Amino acid sequence: MVQVKFSDMGEGMNEGEIIHYFVGVGDVVSVDQPLVEMQTDKMVAEIPAPAAGTIASIHYKEGDVVTVGNVIMEITTEAESAAPLSEMSNTRLQSASTTIATKKNATTVTNPYNRILAAPYTRKIARELGVDIEQIQGTGPAGRVLDDDVYQFAEQPETNKWTEEQESATQKLPQAEEEIRFAGIRKRIAEKMSYSVQTIPHVTHYDEVDLTHLLEERSVLKEMGESISVAAFFIKAVVICLKEFPIFNAQLEVEKEIIRLLKQYSIGIATHTEAGLMVPVIHDADQKSIRFMDEEMKRLIKKAKAGDLKLADMKQATFTVNNVGPLGGMAATPIINHPETAIMTFYKTKKVPVVTKDDALEIRSVMNVSVTFDHRVMDGAQSIAFTNRFKELIEHPTKLLLELI
């Protein structure tokens, strides 16, 4: 009997939620065939079959949270199936009988395990629209159901599973207190943020950055067919600042009493998703052009919102940026993504009257920016110097271009 366990995938993960099964008891599987889709605190991962054989038992149902190391299911291999009945233990006889009975009743018993390929967010859309996702023909790779597939299916009148009578009966039911499950990604975020706040003495420094010239340069690029997001320029400027102020691209190892100044510059992009805060990473950002940075950032954010991030997409960040401007934020006190030493946040850009050096009044595009840092590792003066250099590069884009040569 081969056990299929929920293995440790790294990054401090210790539990995962079963999203859905690709197989049921009695199904014959081959090596590396996907068996179950798991939602960890950071990613969605499929667990493949370690051996060929027949699914003998499944120990959890969809929605259950499984701890690392626990057995999810068991597979009877071909060699075991061919063994003489006299050599089987009572447990195997019972398991074999269950398998045979399951196969015989396959035509009358509904398989409780959903084999439809779909991301967790896609399934959430289907639930909200009242759509049975099993009835949808996916257009994605390997028949995967995409968000658009769900929306198109829901637009068909016959797909609405709630009749007027059912809806009326539902409305008559007493309203219960709403409960939100505290598990998976949300629970992991809570644990990590709590540890960061309890461990790191946070200090946040605020400043204003004039984006007028940068937005003008961006408009010129757009007229030339280059649509680059402002955030891509921010990230490139941040990388330059990290090289000049390496204490911000560091990790504190308290037990060893050392501060490690990192030579790798990988920028985490704090991203809001339906499942919670995700931080995909642009690796080796110092070796990337602004154009590539923009493309990579958009690709990772899209994957994060679709719930398709892999573990490799979220590992080894050395510094995190948080762009809340599109959401309308003006100021906040962000929490550092431990074990990093700082996080930089970009807020909403607004047009304000500014007095120039000639005492003239001009309307400028101004953005608030903050740097939250670990006061054990650095002081306020260093944060101010770091921010001033960032301002210089953004307010004078030609200086930013000089640093790229």
Which amino acid makes up residue 269? Answer: I
**Closest among 44, 43, 34 to 4, alpha carbons compared:** 34
CA distance 279 to 301: 9
Q: How far apart are CA 71 and CA 60, in angstroms?
A: 9
- Chain centroid offset of residue 371 CA: 23
3-state secondary structure 96-129: HHHHHHHHHCCCCCCCCCCCCCECHHHHHHHHHH
CA atoms within 13 A on the CB side of 277: 18
Which listed residue (202, 272, 375, 396) is catalytic?
375
DSSP 145: B
Q: Which single residue is written with the structure tokens 């259950």?
A: 64
Calpha distance 28→224 (Å, rounded): 57
Q: Smallest Cα–Cα separation from 281: which of 262, 263, 295, 301? A: 301
Contact (CB, 8 A) for 114 and 20: yes
Alpha-carbon torsion angle 105, 106, 107, 112, nearest 10: 120
Strands of the 281-282 sheet, one edge to the other: 202-210, 361-374, 342-355, 319-323, 267-269, 281-282
Residue 375 among the catalytic residues: yes
Q: At residue 292, what is the residue type?
A: F
Cβ proximity of 309 and 120 under 8 Å: no
Alpha helix (H) residue ranges in 130-211: 147-154, 164-172, 184-199
- Just list the catalytic residues: 375
